[in-house]
Structure 1
Amino acid sequence: MPLPVVAIIGRPNVGKSTLFNRLVGKRLALVDDRPGVTRDRREGEARLFDLTFTIMDTAGFEDEDPHTLPGRMRAQTEAAVRDADAALFLVDARAGITPLDEEIGRWLRGEDTPVIVAANKAEGRGGEAGRLEAFALGLGEPIALSAEHGEGLADLFESLRPYVEREEEETVEEDEEDPSRPLHIAIVGRPNAGKSTLVNTMLGEERMITGPEAGITRDSIKLDWEWKGRGVHLVDTAGLRKRAKVEDKLEKLSAMDTRRAIDMAEVVVLLLDATRGLEAQDLRIADQVIEEGRGLVIALNKWDVADHASSLFNGVKAALQEGLSQLKDVPLLTVSAKTGKGIDQLLGAAFEIRDSWSRRVTTGELNRWFEKAVDNNPPPAPGGRRIKLRYITQVKTRPPTFVVFGTRVDQLPESYRRYLLNSMRRDLKLGAVPLRMTMRAPKNPYDANKD
């Protein structure tokens, strides 16, 4: 089934090609300060959060004889709009509304294609006057946008959503939905925690150099492996010491390489040394993994030689609950890199975390949960003025990321946002993976004095 089509229209040099490049994620369209660079219609597959659609860049709309080159370009633009599911009418917020903008507006009002007006070049507050002026075009509330700086994309998402989201669930990247794809897993921890020994035991060969000296591994070593018929992309990393103790340039580069490995991983295994227990540096590493939005599994290594095993496990678990308050119930497992005990459980937990990390909640299920959560615990009314939460949408996976739309959301306390996240994790069974939630309010100047 073809993707919905959105055509960008506007007079020359308002930033149509810049926005096109922003939405397709590549510099496919030529961009220059001079007007009239774009002549033919150019199409590309656009991604805006979780919306996927065909975006069409068009020539600048000019009032010229149909037989001239500008006239033929205008005919191409008109045809593009008539074939589109929605038209995105771009105006220059800093220049204000021109007579040609007004002519384009009159023509669009006579067409059947839905129109969204976007005031581009509105970075900062400099374009607000031009945005308000665009109300006079009679095509609804304009949104503020900066194609060059990527500002206003959440408002653009909200405006486009009714016209293109019908394809949303059918156009999720196949790679994200395929449970058979290789698991990208990075093993991190302090020096001498046994990371390379664990990798060697997993592979069944002495692939990594090991020894009693700390810091043998310097580069992040990437290895392709198979566990029970499932592909695993395994990365062994250099040990991470407390930053203040890192003085050697090579060790600094190794630490940067490890952090890049965390960025590229789907799930990170934080390996602890059971003979030393949980240390502050372990919590710092775990916090970095969560901050990067990666799935996290914590493994207590050297369990075969640990003293007072039961009390040690309970003590580490309690310390993690307190030290990682932003993400409760992170899996804590025991392993022996030397004997291989616990490795199957570790890999099984990593695949489960990856499944939760990649999960997409359907729009219907998500908003049924949202209505119930808000009904059970309505948001506060600071100063006697209600905060209205209207709906929620999942904008991406890996990690699951959500946007809540409503009014006065800037006054919503952090405790209420935590309530929503905790309820979501529990009720929707999203597991112990990082979740992202942002709040967005429509920018309508006429709402300023309304409840």
Structure 2
Amino acid sequence: MTIKVAMVGRPNVGKSTLFNRLVGKRLALVDDTPGVTRDRREAMASLGGMSFLAIDTAGLEEDGDTKLSARMRAQTDLAINEADFALFMIDARAGVTPLDKHFADLLRRGKTPVILICNKAEGRAAEAGIYESYSLGLGEPVSISAEHGEGLSELIEAFDKVIFDNNLVVEEEPGEVTSKAVYIDGEISDEEADTEGEYDTGLPLQMAIVGRPNVGKSTLVNYLLGEDRQITGPEAGLTRDAIGVTYFYEDREIRMFDTAGLRRKSKVMEKLEKLSVADTIRALNFAEVVVLMIDATMPFEKQDLSIASLVVQEGRSLVIALNKYDLMENRQEIMKDIQETLEHSLPQIKGIPIVPISALTGKGVNKLMPAVFEAYRLWNRRVSTAKLNKWLAATVAYHPHPSVKGRRIKMRYMTQVKTRPPTFAIFCNRTADVARSYERYLLNELRWDFELPGVPIRVLMRKGDNPYGKSLK
């Protein structure tokens, strides 16, 4: 089993900065604002040849049980209980605060071994805080600078000691233990993203859940996982960064990403929200299927269409989950209105599947994953060149392109150049003169005849070589 290491401490002591350094990627959002991290984030990390699962947690705060900080505290407590040992971080420049003392007492009484870390220890300003940290009763502190990478050799020694004292088995050679890292919080590789032809069902399917704030994305993730993995509540914008978790559906592994809500660009003013939006866009870039959640109790807004259009532009397969559908009385009218709006506003991707669900009660959720897998299958669809050329000849004969300046446009050959999404190339003599309306005609007929509903399709016009070009030179 892989060793689990939880990073805990009060807000703004540098937990996410150290997490990013150990993981080797900027996965966790980092900002000067206290309390940026809310949900716990997991990823494979390495230090001194050791491979382990790092868990970034929300800052520890004392608060009532009814507030957001209490829900964040519950997630942190869960991470500590699951971890083999914890890294308790304090800000050496600020010294030991009453909050540090309070949570040090709690950690001392717990069963999880603890390594005390004095972060931001560069320079003389941190010396007093380092000496003061001995009073916490957690042993000798390790002085580091997560921002500048200082003191990591001393941290390696502390890791070795706690692993030896607690008889833990550590994985070595992190290059061979990357599968769990990729499946939990990593990015898809370029080679994997550009795979063409038949798709490998052994690879995990990457699914991102997007939508406006407070539509129920985290609630859906928790229901699918069967546990309170993500923080939920009536407050809008609880999720700040894209959190990836592993989920199994009928023995198929899925990388599921819960993302921050996307508001209209004009309303995004704060730097932290801009970082959250950028993290959501990053999740879209390497997702394969995107589930767009819409709140049935709220009108279908332009922002929902903007998100759907963004997914289509990225070339990802799209499934719409109509959440809180059980609260509506005029259900058929709502479904009809959404379908008509999509047909009118997104004509380039007709047939997007819409699945009515209730993420809170689970009603209809059993129909969501079959729709996701069907969208994924169509996204990987390949059509033979022979069928495409027969189709092209028949389609052009039925409705030929109008002549341009008295000259006929000849479409000679067609082939599928890639999948994910299905992309087709048509070779003709005058590509610049092909009307956009005729390209849409071909695309719609292609979608209809080869049964590719709800999937982005690319049709490229390519100019064929002049067979007399060499003789004319």
- TM > 0.5: yes
Q: Under a length normalisation based on structure 2, what TM-score does the superposition of the two structures give?
A: 0.56
- Which residue matches 2:362? 340
Q: Which structure 2 residues correspond to residues 26-425 of structure 1 after superposition, within 5 A?
A: 176-425=198-447
Please state how far the C-alpha of 1:446 moved relative to its aligned partner: 6.2
Query: In structure 2, what residue type is equivalent to 1:328?
Result: K
CA distance in 2, matches of 1:174, 1:356: 13
Read off the aligned partner of 1:339 and give its amino acid letter: T
Structure 1 unmatched ranges of 5 or more:
1-171
Contact persistence 1:278–1:316 (CA under 8 A): yes
**Cα distance 1:422–1:175, how it changes in 2: closer, same or farther (>3 A)?**
closer
Look up the equivalent residue of 1:211 and give its one-letter code.
G
Q: Work out whether residues 242 and 258 of structure 2, in 8 Å CA contact, stay in contact via their aligned partners in 1.
A: yes
- In the alignment, the residues of structure 1 paired with residue 276 and residue 255 of structure 2 have an alpha-carbon distance, to the nearest angstrom, of 20
Contact 1:186-1:261 within 8 A present in 2 as well: yes
Displacement of 1:177 in angstroms is 2.4
Change (3 A) 1:175 1:200: farther
- Amino-acid identity (%): 52
Q: Tell me the amino acid that sits aligned with residue 314 of structure 1.
A: K
- For 1:314, what is the secondary structure of its paired residue? helix
Secondary structure at the counterpart of residue 322 of structure 2? strand
Compute the RMSD of aligned alpha carbons: 1.9
Secondary structure at 1:383's aligned position in 2? coil
Partners of 2:220 and 2:360 within 8 A in 1: yes
* Aligned-residue offset at 1:201: 0.3
Partner of 1:428: 450
- Between the aligned partners of 2:196 and 2:420, the Cα distance in structure 1 is 14
What SS does the corresponding residue of 2:405 show, helix, strand or coil?
helix
* Contact 2:196 2:420 survives alignment (8 Å): no
How far does residue 431 in structure 1 lie from its aligned partner after superposition? Answer: 2.4
AA aligned opposite 1:306: M
Q: Tell whether the 8 Å contact from 2:206 to 2:255 is kept in structure 1 after alignment.
A: yes
Q: Could you tell me how far apart the structure 2 residues matched to 1:175 and 1:215 are?
A: 39
Which of 442, 453, 461 does residue 439 from structure 1 map onto?
461
Report the alpha carbon displacement of residue 312 of structure 1 after superposing the two structures with TM: 1.6
Unpaired runs of 5+ residues, structure 2, are 1-193
Q: Contact 1:189–1:240 at 8 Å: present in 2 too?
A: yes
Helix, strand or coil: the match of 2:308? helix
CA distance, structure 1, for counterparts of residue 467 and residue 249 of structure 2: 57
Matched with 1:36 is none
Q: Distance in 2 between matches of 1:238 and 1:329?
A: 26
Whether the 8 Å contact between 2:309 and 2:346 is mirrored in structure 1 is: yes
CA contact (8 A) 2:425 2:459 kept: yes
How many positions carry a matched residue from both structures?
277
Secondary structure of the corresponding residue to residue 402 of structure 1: strand
- 8 Å CA contact 2:322–2:354 kept in 1: the answer is yes
Contact 1:277 1:312 in 2 (8 A): no
